[in-house]
Structure 1
Amino acid sequence: MYMSRGSRTAILAVCATVLLATSACGDDQPEEATAQQVRLYGTDGNMLNSYPEELKDRANLVDGMKGTTPLTPLPDDFKNRLRSVDSKLTDYLYAAEAYDAVVISALAAQLAGSTDPAEIAKQIVGVTNDGTRCGTVNQCLRLTREGTDIEYRSVSITRAGFTDAGEPATASYATLHFDGQQLNDAKTEFVGAGDDSTASTKKPPAGKRQSGDFTDPASGAPLVLGGLLPKTGDLALANPPLAAGAALAIKEINAAGGVLGEDVVWIDGDDGTNPAVAKATVASHVAAGVHVIIGAGGSGISASVLEDVVEAGLILFSPSNTAASLTEADDKGLYFRTAPPDSLQGRALADVILRDGPHKIAIVARQDSYGEGLQDVVRAELERAGFGGDTVKLLGYEPGEDAEAAPINFSDGARQIKEFGADAVLIIGFSESAAVIQALADADVPLAALSS
């Protein structure tokens, strides 16, 4: 399907076959780069305005870095509402997905007429498919109180609903660029991916009509949601938009009359980007009577606590898990996500890299389900474009166990990349991945940012 690497034809083929692109990739010329320059690429874990802070006085190293993240064009109204709960917000990554995870949970509980997690889970996929379309919390809650099956569409769920596996059938990705030490919104491009036909067509149980404005004691209200978001750890830089999205949803749901006649209750919780911290938070939520856990932030963290959540009979609903392996997780129908799987992001990311016409590509990934899973998808996409084992080098690193762990040492990996002669380096990781960039610079790898 693809011709040799770096060719104009290969780039066009990638644009034409792997994505439903809304950006004008068909006419783009590869950006010029000298043989000495090495371009940096990132993913949703590090393409954030807060990421350069991890490099401290070497923040200029990110200048020119580009990458992808699951992101829809967010309306100004939604951004303004987010800032009403966090006036210092500078990033919006997964804010929409967090908002929608909370809203969908609330709507599913209202339709179920119960806070029983098993009954809520039966409604979640159906809330996004084949009903009366609604797009605001007020409108959707009014319909669900009447027992009406709905098709929820909002900031992150825009084209198609969930698949049978409880994840988006389609997604939107943004190509982001660092100019200096900030993302340049003017350069952001959006591309669509996925297939509408993969959305579920299964009918959920009939919705239950709420009688009046009073709480039915049998419903188990109030609905209690527990946070399992990365307040600390390597993914803490992504917490502000996640927390803002969840807080905004709770605020708007309760302003619209709540669920099952009572305000929804939110119990905060940290996943620590650490399995031990996350497990302790889950245990606390179980003891507190939480019905739905919103999180975890990282795919590996969700994978580590999923058995505990399922054993307790609760729902785990993540706004930011992307590991493709979670699609097939043994979740007893209790795991959902509003973030799309990396089987979709990998294609968008490969396209971004290929447009620059590289000759040798190094892919560096944190060694967990997120990093290694996305690394495998991108490698496969590059192979389809004609890149073989002699032109793609895979490396990994062990992330620290907690925030107190020493920075990762990537000096040997940086040396290997230099000897390999890579002119493109993709870094898949969270805040700790800044150490990879520092190691590359220390090894005198000629980063394009330093030469521009």
Structure 2
Amino acid sequence: MMRVSRGSRVATLAACVTLLLSAAACGTEQPEEAGDESQQVRLYGNDGNMLNTFPNELKDRADLVNGMKGTTPMTPLPEDFKTRLRAVNPDLRDFLYAAEAYDAVMISALATQLAGTTDPAAIAKQVIGVTNEGQRCDDAVNCLKLARAGQDIEYRGVSLTRAGFTDAGEPATASYATVHFDDEKLNDAKTEFVGAGDDSQASTTAPPKGRKPRGDTGAPLTLGGLLPRTGPASGAYPPQATGAALAVREINAAGGVLDEPVVWIDGDDGTNPDVARATLAAHVKKNVQVIIGAGTSGVSKAILPDVVAAGLVMFSPANTDASLTTIEDKGLYFRTAPPDSLQGQALADVIMRDGPRKVALIARKDSYGEGLQGYVRTELERAGLGGDKVKLLTYDPPADSDAPPVDFTAGAREIKEFGADAVLLIGYAESAAVILALHEAGVRIQQ
């Protein structure tokens, strides 16, 4: 081994220090420039894109989702419930809103049995009461037995576990899951749950007294699906459709409603108001009394006037736009999904845990996207991120599945110039185009 004198070692050390101070490395590769490092961002998502099907939208760059995390309305699902869902659909990969769809169908059936008729107006008057201040039950057999006897019930299902509905016809409390993408799929081992809402907001208004069927009840109860079988939100269709199908199966196995099996007529909302209106018109012709859907808030908001005009109940398992709480619905609109005013808190908490300096919030340009974006911004500001640290951007969502991908090139450049180190994507499948635009603009995604 060649000997090195003490003087030589000192000289070498001094040279290394000089090189390090000039941003070069001694004996290593030269580090990346600080400017590049500042462009490394963490990706966050919402219930519309935190799905196992979402990476498919990125095709050969599915790896870009690795490390992405976000929130979705979800309660810890019992393994027995998952097993029952898979008995209906063995290929089921996601459970988003499956429990909410199951509970929406169950509550509709119980409200109909208590009403003693399939008249939508009578069903609607029983819905909120089914979830509050009665004899507690949690399965089709026992709940239907009580309802057939005219007993006021307090249904607790899979998603509705803590408290019942508010006077506005939506959950008073909610559970959110924080989910993570690893290896191009959701890593269940990292899922965490947090509660939100206030039990005291549940309604205390007594429903009309349940009555036993007499005369012409209008049975069978016919439910019309209005779920996103196609369009940007189609990734959420399998769990919602499976949850609804499981509930219908179990209700009918327990004897049905008003002495007849419940009928389910599937239908597509297309993630598009025009498609949804056509489906609604077909349901009206088939004497549907309760619409289960729509799958997205924007579609529900657009067609609710048509549903109300037809005098039908509309019960969504997936609408979260907070403005739907106060929309004019003549008492006919309900949802098992919690409003985004609650999810905004959960999302902001997830983001702030990572200590971001600048956050970009990218949303679909519709009531759902911009509504949730506003709630998250408010919560981030409460947490200490001033207005100059949060950037809001929107994009026009594609009209249908045949529309060209979202062009977010200019927005990606804005984010690069802004220097965000956290980016939240509020949207559905089209969010993939935003991720690709960020990557192509040179915004480094932290994984």
Please indicate, yes or no, whether the TM-score normalized by the shorter chain is above 0.5.
yes
| Alignment of 1:107 onto 2:122 | no
Provide the residue aligned with 2:385 in structure 1: 387
The residue number in structure 2 matching 1:160 is 163
Q: Which residue of 1 aligns with 2:77?
A: 74
Asked whether the 8 Å contact 2:113–2:148 carries over to 1, the reply is yes
Secondary structure of 2:436's partner?
A: helix
The question of 1:177 aligning with 2:180 is answered yes
The structure 2 residue matched to 1:134, chosen from 129, 134, 137, is 137
Cα-to-partner distance string for 1:194-219 (whole Å, 9 max, x where unaligned): 00000000000000135xxxxx5421
Rounded Cα–Cα distance in structure 2 between residues aligned with 1:122 and 1:390 = 48
Distance 1:231 1:217 in 2: 38
How is 1:308-319 mapped onto 2 (pairs within 5 angstroms)?
A: 308-319=306-317
Match of 2:318 among 317, 320, 332: 320
Look up the match of 1:205. 208
Tell me, in whole angstroms, the C-alpha distance in 2 between the residues paired with 1:237 and 1:135.
29
- Asked whether the equivalents of residues 73 and 177 of structure 2 are also in contact (C-alpha less than 8 Å), the reply is yes
Which residue number in structure 1 is paired with residue 67 of structure 2? Answer: 64
Pick aligned residue for 1:421 from 382, 396, 419: 419
SS at match of 2:160: coil
Residue matched to 1:269? 267
Identify which of 426, 430, 446 aligns with 2:428: 430
Larger RCO (CA under 8 A, 6+ residues apart): 1
Give the Cα–Cα distance (whole angstroms) in 1 for the partners of residues 130 and 269 of structure 2: 27
Matched, 1:45 2:43: no
1:410 aligns with 2:408: yes
AA aligned to 2:138 is G
**1:8-67 CA distance string (max 9 Å, x none):** xxxxxxxxxxxxxxxxxxxxxxxxxx6452000000000001100010110000000000
What's the RMSD between the two structures over aligned residues? 1.0
User: Which of 167, 187, 190 is matched with 1:187 structurally?
Assistant: 190
1:174 counterpart letter in structure 2 = A
Q: Does residue 305 of the first structure (1) align with residue 308 of the second (2)? A: no
Unaligned runs of 5+ in 2: 1-36
Where structure 1 has 5 or more consecutive residues not aligned to the other structure, the ranges are 1-33, 211-215
Query: Deviation string for 1:398-448 (max 9, x for gaps)?
Result: 011111100010000000000000000000000011000000000010110
Q: Please show how residues 360-399 of structure 1 align to structure 2 within 5 Å.
A: 360-399=358-397
Change (3 A) 1:341 1:220: same
- C-alpha distance in 2, partners of 1:70/1:101? 15
- State how far apart, in whole Å, the 2-side matches of 1:217 and 1:77 are: 39
Structure 2 partner of 1:351: 349
Task: Determine helix, strand or coil for the equivalent of 2:110.
Answer: helix
CA distance in 2, matches of 1:166, 1:84: 31
State how far apart, in whole Å, the 2-side matches of 1:254 and 1:137 are. 9
Q: Which residue of 2 aligns with 1:89?
A: 92
Q: Does 1:329 align with 2:348?
A: no
Paired positions, count = 412
For residue 259 of structure 1, what is the aligned residue in structure 2?
257
- Any conservation in 1 of the 2:39–2:419 contact (CA below 8 Å)? no
Residues 39 and 416, structure 2, Cα contact 8 Å, conserved in 1? no
**Which position in structure 2 is the counterpart of 1:446?**
444
Once the two structures are superposed, what CA deviation does each residue of 1:271-323 show, in whole Å capped at 9, x if it has no partner?
00001000111111111110000000000000011000000100110000000
